């Protein structure tokens, strides 16, 4: 458990870029705190029930991520429940879907070590970042249904550049260096941190950062600190909980992914005034793949329209 005074309490902002002119848009969800029925919970539709099912707390309206231009005030609570993506807190909007909700083709474009060296074609992009060995490359390969688009390695710290992968010839997935790899030289870790954060702050085509969190282990302070930095700097963020297929037996002292996800959300709640979007995933079972692509499509379609 982490002390709540270690990170400042901040408000989560989502940043979307406009083409003419480019500017920031802060999105807050002004919705009533009203519980959704217990049958619609954090994990009720996400994955198969464990051997000894544990009831999850109900998902309340104030804990949902409501995309911009989405009015839920007139919806009945049961109707709203059908619009929440499985294994997430994300409400589907009218911007979701379209041709961009599935990956038709994908290709590696280039590696860069500076923001100014990244592709300059103006296509929208989503950045994947997380602690070393969290499963970034595996998730990227799962999203595009290719085993070796992004090379995976048992050795952490393999990704050392900003790697752009063009999807459907119209948007990018971006694989960033992992953080927290203690075995890497200090100078190298400093460089990674510098150009990664410069990319977050100065990349005009960045739609959102997808921060990967290992759900097979209890929350790490380094992940909470990274999430806090993104929020303080008004960088749009989605929490992607990885390795949700790994189920450690309680009698051996392990905890289920649901428990770790719930604890991470509780800790985040102490630092953020509005709930960031989150999705549970597994690169082994492809859990969360369609949900991520739908979420990306609604963010991207909104970004393109504005």
Summarised one tens digit per residue, pLDDT across range 187-208 is 544 455 777 889 999 999 999 9
pLDDT at 81: 74
Strands (E), the chain: 106-112, 125-130, 162-167, 171-175, 206-214, 237-242, 278-280
pLDDT at 186: 52
Report in angstroms the alpha-carbon separations of 97 from 115, 126, 302: 30, 16, 11
Contacts of 114 (CB under 8 A, 6+ apart): 195, 198
CB atoms within 10 A of CB 48: 10
Cα 185 to chain centroid, rounded: 28
Identify the band that residue 97 occupies on the pLDDT scale cut at 50, 70 and 90. Answer: confident
- Buried b / exposed e along 238-272 (16+ C-beta atoms within 10 A): bbbbbbbbbbeeeeeeebbbbbbbbebbebbeebb
The strand pairing partners of 210, in sequence order, are: 128, 238
Segment 94-106 mean pLDDT: 84
pLDDT at 133: 85
pLDDT digits (tens, 9 = 90+) for 147-174: 655 544 344 444 578 999 999 999 999 9
Residue 212: pLDDT above 90? Answer: yes
Residue 218: pLDDT above 50? Answer: yes
Fold classified for 93-305 = Rossmann fold (3.40.50)
pLDDT at 58: 58
Residue 221: pLDDT above 80? Answer: yes
pLDDT digits (tens, 9 = 90+) for 232-244: 888 999 999 999 9
Contacts of 202 (CB under 8 A, 6+ apart): 115
pLDDT at 204: 95
Residues 87 and 101: their CA atoms lie apart, in Å, by: 17
Least confident of 6-10, 17-21, 162-166, 275-279: 17-21
Contacts of 136 (CB under 8 A, 6+ apart): 128, 129, 130, 150, 159, 175, 176, 178, 212
Q: pLDDT: is 48 or 300 the higher one?
A: 300
Whole-prediction pTM: 0.77
Give alpha helix (H) positions in 111-253: 136-144, 186-202, 221-232
Residue 48: pLDDT above 90? Answer: no
Report in angstroms the alpha-carbon separations of 62 from 25, 185, 273, 284: 20, 43, 10, 32
Q: In 3D, which of 208, 123, 192 has the Cα closest to residue 159?
A: 192
pLDDT at 155: 43
Sequence spans of domains, the chain: 93-305
pLDDT at 171: 96
Q: What is the β-pairing status of strands 162-167 and 171-175?
A: antiparallel
Q: pLDDT: is 11 or 160 the higher one?
A: 160
Least confident of 85-94, 138-147, 206-215: 138-147
297, containing H or E segment:
helix 289-305
Q: In 3D, which of 92, 113, 303, 267 has the Cα closest to residue 190?
A: 113
Identify the band that residue 41 occupies on the pLDDT scale cut at 50, 70 and 90. Answer: very low
Contacts of 239 (CB under 8 A, 6+ apart): 211, 213, 227, 264, 268, 276, 277, 278, 279
CB atoms within 10 A of CB 5: 8
Contact (Cβ atoms closer than 8 angstroms) between residue 239 and residue 264 = yes
Q: What is the β-pairing status of strands 206-214 and 162-167?
A: unpaired
């Amino acid at each position: 458990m982490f002390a709540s005074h270690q990170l400042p309490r901040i408000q989560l902002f989502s940043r979307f870029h406009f083409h003419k002119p480019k500017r920031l848009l802060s999105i807050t969800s002004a919705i009533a705190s009203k519980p959704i029925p217990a049958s619609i919970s954090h994990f009720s539709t996400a994955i198969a029930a464990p051997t000894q099912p544990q009831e999850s707390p109900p998902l309340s309206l104030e804990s949902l991520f409501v995309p911009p231009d989405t009015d839920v005030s007139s919806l009945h609570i049961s109707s709203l429940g059908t619009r929440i993506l499985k294994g997430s807190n994300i409400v589907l909007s009218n911007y979701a879907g379209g041709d961009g909700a599935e990956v038709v083709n994908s290709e590696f474009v280039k590696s860069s070590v500076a923001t100014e060296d990244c592709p300059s074609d103006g296509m929208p992009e989503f950045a994947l970042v997380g602690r070393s060995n969290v499963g970034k490359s595996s998730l990227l390969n799962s999203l595009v249904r290719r085993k070796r688009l992004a090379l995976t390695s048992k050795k952490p710290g393999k990704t050392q550049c900003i790697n752009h992968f063009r999807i459907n010839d119209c948007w990018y997935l971006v694989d960033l260096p992992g953080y927290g790899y203690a075995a890497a030289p200090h100078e190298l870790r400093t460089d990674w941190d510098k150009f990664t954060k410069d990319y977050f702050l100065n990349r005009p085509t960045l739609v959102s950062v997808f921060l990967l969190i290992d759900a097979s282990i209890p929350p790490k302070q380094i992940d909470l600190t990274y999430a806090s930095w993104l929020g303080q700097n008004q960088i749009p963020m989605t929490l992607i909980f990885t390795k949700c297929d790994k189920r450690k037996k309680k009698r051996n002292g392990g905890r289920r992914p649901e428990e770790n996800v719930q604890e991470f959300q509780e800790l985040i709640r102490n630092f953020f005034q509005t709930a960031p979007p989150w999705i549970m995933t597994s690169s082994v079972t492809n859990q969360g793949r369609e949900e991520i692509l739908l979420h990306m499509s609604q963010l991207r379609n909104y970004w393109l329209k504005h």
